[in-house]
């Protein structure tokens, strides 16, 4: 729903039409690659008339296409993502560290930030033959079910931490996903104490991961870095024993880079 994604304290200059258009672009995904007008209106929480006006505008701008009565995204949408990719200097700043970790340990490595109750992948590198679709750049998943999300959540100020736990409704992505809020609280408090997070089969079966925070100015966590492997081949305990030190060193190098280029912290960091 559009209302769920908008701050209740909107500034006077808030442009409702722009918000509706962006919400429509975001409502397309792998399970909804094309939709009718009614489908779009229902997913975004708009009236059919409002959804129609936004779709017509997006179509005229080249971001949306239409085949018969079904709408779909056009390649031009990728220009929005690439603008972030280049302004955040992902290739120059983030990818080298991910490649270094993967060259050392194999498997895969990612950087993500927090968007609302979700974690958003902003960089990923893998040499695995069968890449997991869960770790693609731009993927967005419930933070409670990922090592990346948990380590950022644990770093939140107390008021934001408590608000998250009050508002979140954990969803089951596997049969092992932690859903009990009390148990989730205990896990996050432990993560806060130890400074790293692990997860096993929480987001998807076969994913075991270890994550550490990337800190910006004043020690504030702005993103997270992880190293992941296949459950059954590597355990969480093995990740901690063999990869934690290297992961922390990489996170520290990234933090130093953010200090040299403060604008990157604003671009990449948790809002």
Give domain 3-78's CATH number out of 3.40.50.261, 1.10.1840.10, 1.10.10.10, 1.25.40.10.
1.10.10.10
Q: Given pLDDT bands bounded at 50, 70 and 90, which one contains residue 195?
A: very high
pTM over 0.85: no
Q: According to CATH, what is the number of the domain 88-268?
A: 3.30.450.40
In tens, the pLDDT along 35-86 reads 999 999 999 999 999 999 999 999 999 999 999 999 999 988 877 877 666 6
In tens, the pLDDT along 205-250 reads 999 999 999 998 788 899 999 999 999 899 999 999 999 999 999 9
Report, in this order, helix, strand and coil percent for the chain, each rounded to 5: 50, 20, 25
Share of the chain above pLDDT 90, in %: 66
Note the pLDDT of residue 157. Answer: 94
In tens, the pLDDT along 98-153 reads 999 999 999 999 999 999 999 999 889 997 655 555 667 788 899 999 999 999 99
Are 100 and 250 a contacting pair, CB within 8 Å?
Answer: yes
Spatial separation of the C-alpha atoms in residues 129 and 143, rounded to whole Å: 26
Rounded mean pLDDT, 181-188: 97
Q: How many CB atoms lie within 10 A of CB 103?
A: 11
- Structural domain boundaries in the chain: 3-78, 88-268
Note the pLDDT of residue 30. Answer: 79
Are 209 and 226 a contacting pair, CB within 8 Å?
Answer: yes
Candidate ranges 10-19, 157-166, 260-269; pick with highest mean pLDDT = 157-166
Higher pLDDT, 174 or 267: 174
């Amino acid at each position: 729903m559009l209302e769920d994604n908008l701050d209740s304290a909107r500034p006077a200059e808030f442009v409702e039409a722009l918000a509706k258009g962006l919400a429509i672009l975001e409502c397309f995904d792998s399970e909804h690659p094309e939709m009718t007008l009614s489908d779009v209106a229902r997913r975004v929480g708009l009236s059919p008339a409002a959804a129609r006006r936004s779709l017509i505008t997006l179509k005229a701008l080249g971001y949306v296409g239409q085949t018969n009565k079904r709408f779909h995204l056009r390649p031009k949408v990728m220009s929005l993502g690439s603008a972030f990719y280049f302004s955040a200097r992902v290739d120059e700043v983030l990818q080298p560290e991910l490649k270094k970790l993967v060259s050392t340990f194999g498997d895969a490595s990612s950087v993500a930030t927090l968007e609302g109750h979700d974690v958003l992948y902003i960089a990923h590198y893998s040499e695995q033959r069968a890449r997991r679709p869960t770790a693609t750049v731009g993927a967005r998943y419930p933070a409670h079910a990922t090592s990346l999300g948990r380590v950022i959540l644990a770093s939140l100020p107390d008021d934001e931490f408590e608000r998250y736990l009050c508002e979140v409704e954990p969803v089951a992505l596997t049969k092992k996903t932690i859903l009990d809020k009390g148990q989730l609280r205990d896990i996050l408090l432990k993560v806060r104490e130890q400074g790293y997070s692990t997860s096993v089969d929480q987001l998807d079966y076969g994913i075991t991961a270890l994550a550490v925070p990337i800190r910006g100015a004043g020690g504030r966590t702005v993103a997270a870095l992880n190293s992941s492997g296949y459950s059954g081949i590597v355990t969480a305990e093995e990740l901690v024993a063999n990869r934690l030190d290297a992961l922390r060193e990489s996170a520290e190098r990234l933090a130093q880079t953010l200090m040299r280029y403060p604008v990157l912290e604003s671009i990449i960091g948790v809002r």
